[in-house]
A and B are shown apart, each in its own frame.
Chain A
Amino acid sequence: MSQVWTDIGAMDAIPRRGARVLKTPHGCVAVFRTFDDRVFALEDRCPHKGGPLSQGIVHGASVTCPLHNWALSLETGEAQGADAGKARTFALQVVDGRIHIDLTALAAKAAA
């Protein structure tokens, strides 16, 4: 599948150990920045009860959902500990401090 990268903003626009929301026609995506400046994108819906992951506390490469404290891996989207479930992840790359997201993944999500 071909990849189409879209610039969605500067990495510095997201606080370290924080997240911001990317609005798309196919729903919201949470874009995270870790303490060591890695960025990740997850569907902004916790697999548990649909909580907005972008509003959670970011620790290490994980986020804890604000609704019921599920912790999800930012790398795989998978729930950690005793919980089972997975949020979709999307490919990102950082070029010159700007974050680029692969839109085809988003479109594929909508078609799925």
Chain B
Amino acid sequence: MRHFQKEDIAADATPAPRQRLVVIGNGMSPGRALENLFETAPEAYKVTIFNAEPRVNYDRIMLSPLLSGEKTFEEIVIHGDGWYVKHGVTLYKGHKIVAIDREKRTVTSDHGVTEPYDKLIIATGSSPIVIPVPGHRLAGVLTYRDLDDVNAMILAAKSGGRAVVIGGGLLGLEAAVGLKEQGMEVSVVHLAPTLMERQLDAPSGFLLKTAIEARGIKVHTKANTKEILGTDHARGPSRARAVVLDDGAEILADLVVMAVGIRPSVALARDCGIAVNRGIVVGPDMRSSDPDIYALGECAEAQGQCFGLVAPLYEMANVVAANLRGDLDASFNPSATATKLKVTGINLFSAGDFEEGEGKQEIVLRDAARGVYRRLAIKDDRLIGVVLYGDVSHGAWLFDLLKRRVDIAELRETMMFGPEAAGGAPLDPTAAVAALPDDAEICGCNGVCKGKIAAAIKAKGLTNLDAVRAHTKASASCGSCTGLVEQVMRLTLGDKYAAAAVQPMCGCTTLGHDDVRRLIVAKQMKSIDATMQGLEWKTSCGCAKCRPALNYYLLASWPEDYEDDQQSRFINERVHANIQKDGTYSVVPRMWGGVTSANELRAIADVVDKFNIPSVKMTGGQRVDLLGVRKEQLPAVWADLNKAGLVSGAAYAKGLRTVKTCVGSDWCRFGTQDSTGLGVKLEKFLWGSWTPAKVKLAVSGCPRNCAEATCKDVGVICVDSGYDIVFAGAAGLDILGAQALCHADSEDETIEIVGALVQLYREQGRYLERIYKWAKRVGAPSIKAQVVEDREKRMALHERFLVSQKRAQVDPWAERVAGEQRHEFAPLADLTLVAAE
């Protein structure tokens, strides 16, 4: 600060010149620190970044999905070039800093750029440890650390062949699975007797090994690498060809990946004389031994520890940012961190300490059949270690108990089974079920009431869920009532029954989505207040997670009675437009089946001119998006669009979005049916309905499928003999080809089946759960059974959909043009005129 005292005094008259902040390294931690700083004190510093990697900041955690092909580089960029420009940051890409001069307060790059600083952040990260065995410098030997490594691995994998990954820790296993996905034959060589021994105990390490091997990856434990053999020099430059182990075993390898750990990169810091231990030593304020130099990220050592997981690194970043903007109280206090393996299909969770020790007690649960292993380490009535394998659903809850050092004496018996089973929670989840009368329906699919389940349990001595399913059929179809059936079992059996717990809807309740829905119906609760009261919500009026969900469940359960609660809807559904990053809205009128006319286009063009709408764009669903409309303009914009017959396209809704079509038999020489006409009919039938998440349809006129029906929530593909209906496709976060539902002979039959399908989804889907996720959860057979095979059930579903549509098919734009919800679109008061005096 001493350099700026004069300026500080002068600042009363003119703004202080900005201090110069130089950052060495452009990884995730400095990225987060700068983001925080730009948000809280955007004018405080002029920032210059030196990045040894020739690129922008990207999400290193996503390297494994990148390797396995689940993501692309563009998807894992955190800050694109625009971000640096916007914040006036000078970014030197591909510049490695080679010297820090603390006297002159400058840094110098390998390209000869010298930059002065007032404050300096060293965020040089870490480098992968390379085991110095003979052959470690051969071509084809890589580490697994940055984008260049991943690119090299993907390239190597293209030619197939064999890969050996040295190191069976988190990174090594992710690399192994990724390379396997890329088509290589993969072996893992690991020094310790079990995999991930730093995070897992031996039994879960063994389960993990079994799961990895099940994917066709060979695992060698207690295996020490002695040498890497190269190809014969006579046949060109030598490349890796095999890994030799201590015991002489040779494993063939075209690619060797070393993933045995990281070492903080501290050379630069050591050279300029600041205190360095394993990492750069920092105090709680993240300053190094030079008060103007911060160390941040994997290169920093706080309280004798270095960190490699993102949570503590981001905490560090926030402390650095706070400190830079003058908040000197902020301090970094490392807390326990949790580990999860990012391998699809393998669930494991580990946190804290689980090694044997004095005064430690263990609770272990094993369920071999389900592949479940759980171990809790306890000391002095505090949870100090958690290992979950197979079912990790309680990880967050247990980790919270661990971090907060909660006294778990009371929870001890039950905590293994999750928060619901641990009776310490304020609501006894069985209370709501206990209060139900015997004739309350528990299983909707099979029409089983509470009394029947309880009677069967008593009469036949049933003690587990499968037996109850077999005897009563309750929970035997879609399974969404499982939680309730289990509660009936608990009520009937008392302590003899311990159920697997359900993920609560949100922090306001211990009940899961399915239970809440069923109780809404069973207890005839018809408002949000009544539901929260009846189900003993823990908060006064819910949260932003549960209120929209409850609003939907009530609307879907009581389509004729429930009054929609506007205040429980997300802004887009409240004002029937899509909020944009600058607080303006986008407006999308419906174009039935993607068909429009000169009149409609003229009306849209007139609206764009009249309201000076800055951007007009085609959407992916065959309609037009008007972007940058101010909220107060919305009713007037809608009024003009309404006049031309245009209504809301619900592009904002958890509801029907679009029905995309191709031109079909009207025009196309391949078209087999009138796909456009059917698309329009479907859209006119379905519009206005609210659903758990958005619903998109498409109708293609022939199997060439130009409307891309096979990646939609529901798709129809016209064929000569009629209509093939597919469902549960996805082309967003996940990409998934739709699966066949059935064949229909006529348009009417198609519409009936689609209506029934959408209604079943409306009744069973959890809020925000897309159709493909719902279908995966309940299983396609249970859906087909009700929508296709059982005509009576299909008709009933279709009928319920029609009932709900009666109140749903009202254009929300016209309602608001007529004055409804007027307060939404005008300010409470406008003081700009008052103050202009």
Contact = CB atoms under 8 A, between A and B. Distances in A.
Asked if chains A and B come from one complex, the reply is yes
Interface of A: 6, 8-9, 13-18, 20-25, 28, 31, 35-36, 47-52, 55-60, 62, 64, 66-67, 69, 71, 84-85, 103, 106
B66 to A, nearest CB: 24
A71 B364 CA distance: 37
B544 A8 contact: no
Contact of A21 (B541, B568, B827, B835): B827
Interface in B562-598: 566-572, 575, 579, 581, 583
B823 A14 contact: yes
Contact of A56 (B322, B544, B836): B544
A10 to B, nearest CB: 9
B39 interface: yes
B544 A59 contact: yes
B218 interface: no
Contact of B544 (A31, A36, A64, A85): A64
Given A47-B39, A49-B39, A51-B583, A57 B548 contact: yes
Nearest to A27: B832
B86 to A, nearest CB: 12
Interface string B793-837: 000000000000000000000000000000100011111101110
Contacts of B39: 47-49, 85
B673 interface: no
A29 to B, nearest CB: 9
Interface in B528-558: 539-544, 547-548
A23 B541 contact: no
A57 B828 contact: no
A47 B39 CA distance: 7
A25 B540 CA distance: 35
B828 A20 contact: yes
A53 to B, nearest CB: 10
B57 interface: no
Contacts of B548: 57
The 10 closest A-B pairs by CB, nearest first: A64-B544, A20-B828, A8-B829, A17-B567, A55-B571, A57-B544, A25-B835, A52-B583, A66-B571, A23-B830
Given A49-B581, A57-B568, A85-B39, A8 B540 contact: no
Given A16-B567, A56-B571, 18 more contacts: A6-B834, A8-B829, A8-B831, A9-B828, A13-B823, A17-B567, A18-B566, A20-B827, A21-B828, A35-B540, A36-B540, A55-B579, A57-B544, A57-B547, A57-B568, A60-B541, A67-B579, A84-B318
Contacts of A50: 583
A62 B539 CA distance: 12
A110 B644 CA distance: 45
B506 to A, nearest CB: 10
Interface residues on B, range: 20 to 34
Contacts of A71: 543-544
A57 B831 contact: no
B829 A57 contact: no
Contacts of A58: 567
A103 B318 CA distance: 33
A13 B542 CA distance: 23
Contact of A17 (B36, B541, B829, B834): B541
Contacts of A62: 543
A35 B541 contact: yes
Contacts, number: 101
A59 to B, nearest CB: 5
Interface in B767-796: none
A35 to B, nearest CB: 4
B40 interface: yes
A21 B825 CA distance: 9
Nearest to B834: A6
Contacts of B539: 59-60
A106 to B, nearest CB: 8
A71 B836 CA distance: 34
B326 to A, nearest CB: 14
B836 A15 contact: no
Nearest to A57: B544
Contacts of A64: 543-544
Contacts of B835: 24-25
A25 B832 contact: yes
A47 B828 contact: no
A12 B16 CA distance: 45
B327 to A, nearest CB: 10
Contacts of A21: 827-828
A55 B544 CA distance: 12
Contacts of B566: 15, 18
Contacts of A66: 570-572, 579
B505 to A, nearest CB: 14
Contacts of A52: 579, 583
A110 to B, nearest CB: 10
A85 B322 CA distance: 10
A51 B322 CA distance: 21
Interface in B36-71: 36, 39-40
Contact of B540 (A60, A67, A103): A60
Interface string B384-397: 00000000000000
Nearest to B829: A8
A71 B571 CA distance: 15
B832 A57 contact: no
A55 B827 CA distance: 12
A47 B569 CA distance: 23
Contacts of B542: 59
A14 B566 CA distance: 13
Contacts of B583: 50-52, 55
Nearest to A66: B571
Contacts of A16: 567
Contact of B827 (A6, A23, A49): A23
Interface core residue of B36, B581, B829 (most chain A CB under 10 Å): B829
A103 B835 CA distance: 10
Nearest to A71: B544
A17 B565 CA distance: 10
B231 to A, nearest CB: 51
Contacts of B569: 57
A25 B836 contact: yes
Contacts of A9: 828-829
Contact of A25 (B541, B567, B831): B831
A8 B318 contact: no
A50 B39 CA distance: 9
Contacts of B829: 8-9, 22-23
A90 B832 CA distance: 17
Interface in B684-737: none
Nearest to A8: B829
B336 to A, nearest CB: 15
A24 B544 contact: no
A6 B831 contact: yes
A58 B832 CA distance: 26
B441 to A, nearest CB: 31
23 contacts: A8-B829, A13-B823, A13-B828, A16-B567, A22-B830, A23-B829, A25-B831, A35-B541, A49-B39, A52-B579, A52-B583, A55-B579, A57-B547, A57-B548, A59-B541, A59-B543, A62-B543, A66-B571, A66-B572, A67-B581, A69-B544, A84-B318, A84-B322
A60 B827 CA distance: 23
Interface core residue of A6, A48, A55, A71 (most chain B CB under 10 Å): A55
A24 B540 contact: no
A12 to B, nearest CB: 10
Given A56-B544, A59-B543, A84-B318, A47 B40 contact: yes
Contacts of A28: 827
Contacts of A106: 831
B80 to A, nearest CB: 15
B7 to A, nearest CB: 19
A26 B572 CA distance: 26
A31 B827 CA distance: 10
Nearest to B572: A66
Contact of B823 (A15, A49, A60): A15
